[in-house]
Structure 1
Amino acid sequence: MIGDRSYTGLILESGHLNRVHYGLAMAAAALAISQPVVLFFTNAALLSLRAPDPEGRPGWATCPLGPDLVAAGVAGDATGWNAGLVTRGAAGVEDLIEACRDLGARFMVCDMGLRAIGLEKTALRDDLSFEEGGLVSLYRILGDTGRLVVI
């Protein structure tokens, strides 16, 4: 807890970038009103935290979009969808990651999730400070009064 405020824990499990984006938006909104947040990335959502590729594209740029967005013709890929968000005045993925970092979010990566998808922590971006742990660690942070949302 920070002061008398309990943490809100957001479990990001899906690798669909629109779901990761919304989880980051929820976290940024909570942080903006001084609600402490821990973002717990596991399984395919961890792929959104990969380091940029040799051409400088962020790891999230290769994540899939939810099939509903693709079927609706909103965008065909993550980069196009993110560019559309920014063009229409919404926060992009990178904007939200930076906002969460700057507002004090705790970024946790699930050790079991890393193993499940064969990803090493060293493959993650280096501009964020990651805590590695599992569900027990997350529940300890949340304590008796924290909230938990699974996205």
Structure 2
Amino acid sequence: MSTPMFLTLADDSWQRVHYALIVAAGGLSLGRKVTIFAGGRSVLAFAKDWSALQDVRSDSELAAQGVAGFSELREAVMELGADVMTCETGLKLASLSPADLMDGVSVAGIVSFLELAGDNSILAL
């Protein structure tokens, strides 16, 4: 079995989150277990309405360029079985509640994420 992948996000940059979703989808497509921890305002990426991220590019613009859109990547990552965790503190910073999150996203603290990651490497994107 391959090594699990642990990704952590910290800010509300659309570009960083889009790239993290690409990395996660790639890992999942190779059969790796992927866990994403969204801290700080990066929790906005997993809200039902993610338009509050900074410097958002529209999915239609990306599609015209032949690039997977944000919505498509988020759905694929969830459907492929990624474990997505959002930070309790980050939700407060972003003025969100757990009800604002997309289905399948859990709320946890950084200690829970670090405990889950154990001695595995963590990619900070």
Q: Deviations over 1:95-114 (max 9, x none)?
A: 11111111110010111211
**Gaps in structure 1 of 5+ consecutive residues:** 52-58, 66-77
Q: Read off the aligned partner of 1:132 and give its amino acid letter.
A: V
Q: Taking structure 1 as the reference length, what is the TM-score of the superposition?
A: 0.75
Question: What is the match of residue 62 of structure 1?
Answer: 52
Runs in 1 of length 4+ with deviation above 4 angstroms?
Answer: none
Name structure 2 gaps, 5 residues minimum.
Answer: none
Match of 2:107 in 1: 132
Number of aligned positions between the proteins: 125
- How far residue 122 of structure 1 moved from its aligned partner, in angstroms, is 1.2
The structure-2 alpha-carbon separation of the partners of 1:116 and 1:63, relative to structure 1 and needing over 3 Å to count, comes to closer
Task: Provide Cα deviations, 1:46-66, integer angstroms capped at 9, x if missing partner.
Answer: 112222xxxxxxx2233221x
Mapped contact 1:10–1:39 kept (Cα < 8 A): yes
How big is each residue's C-alpha offset from its partner over 1:59-115, in whole Å with a ceiling of 9 and x where there is no partner?
A: 2233221xxxxxxxxxxxx244x3221111111101111111111100101112112
Which is greater in Rg? 1
Partner residue, 2:123: 149
Residue identity over aligned pairs, in percent, reads 28
Distance 1:64 1:93 in 2: 13
Counterparts of 1:68-79 in structure 2, within 5 Å, are 78-79=56-57
1:17–1:60: 8 Å Cα contact kept in structure 2? no
Q: Could you say what secondary structure the match of 1:14 adopts?
A: coil
**Aligned-residue RMSD, C-alpha:** 1.6
